[in-house]
Amino acid sequence: MTASLIGILASVLFALAVRHTFSVKRFAHWAHQHPKGSIAENLLHFLAETEVVFGLWAAALFTGIAAMKGSVAEAVDYIEGLNFTEPKFVLVVMGVAATRPVVKLAEAFISFIARLLPMRESLPFHGAALCAGSLLGSLITQPAAMTLLAILFKRRYFDRGISLKLA
């Protein structure tokens, strides 16, 4: 029964972590409403850091497991018993996919396909990126392909000040 309760706790905390991730901009806004250097301002800025979110909620999970099992040692044993091989691999592949040579190669590949389409530049690139870029996931990994596409779309569209109607 304890394992199922830990699973429920982990699921609830993960949902809260995802919600927190999408709320970091709001935390930053709230931080700016407090006097500079105040405890509230510093705490809200801390909560607005995307890098902090999952570490914070992982600490909450660890604390919850320790409370449920009644021992920090058992919580450590539980965490150490998990296999993080695949998440580590995905993290490394996404890091490599975000490097300049790989991004330039993917952009050249997608631009080549876009030039084959008989339309203006922007629309064919968008279509080629969504179609061919997604198929890159078969060659590399899907997380790496999505990382590449996110970087390319950011550079091509979002960094150029798109209208607020599309944002």
* Helix, strand, or coil (residue 9): helix
Q: Could you write out the DSSP letters of every residue in 138-154?
A: HHS-HHHHHHHHHHHHH
pLDDT, mean over the chain? 86
pLDDT given for residue 166 in this prediction? 53
Do 147 and 96 contact (CB within 8 A), yes or no? Answer: no
φ/ψ (deg, to 5) at 64:
-65, -40
Cβ contact 133:103 at 8 Å = no
Supply φ then ψ for residue 142, to 5 degrees: -60, -40
CA distance 137 to 144: 7
Q: Where are the domains of the chain?
A: 2-82, 90-160
- pLDDT digit string, tens, across residues 56-76: 999 999 999 999 988 899 889
Answer whether 0.75 is exceeded by the pTM.
no
The confidence band for 142, taking pLDDT boundaries of 50, 70 and 90, is: confident
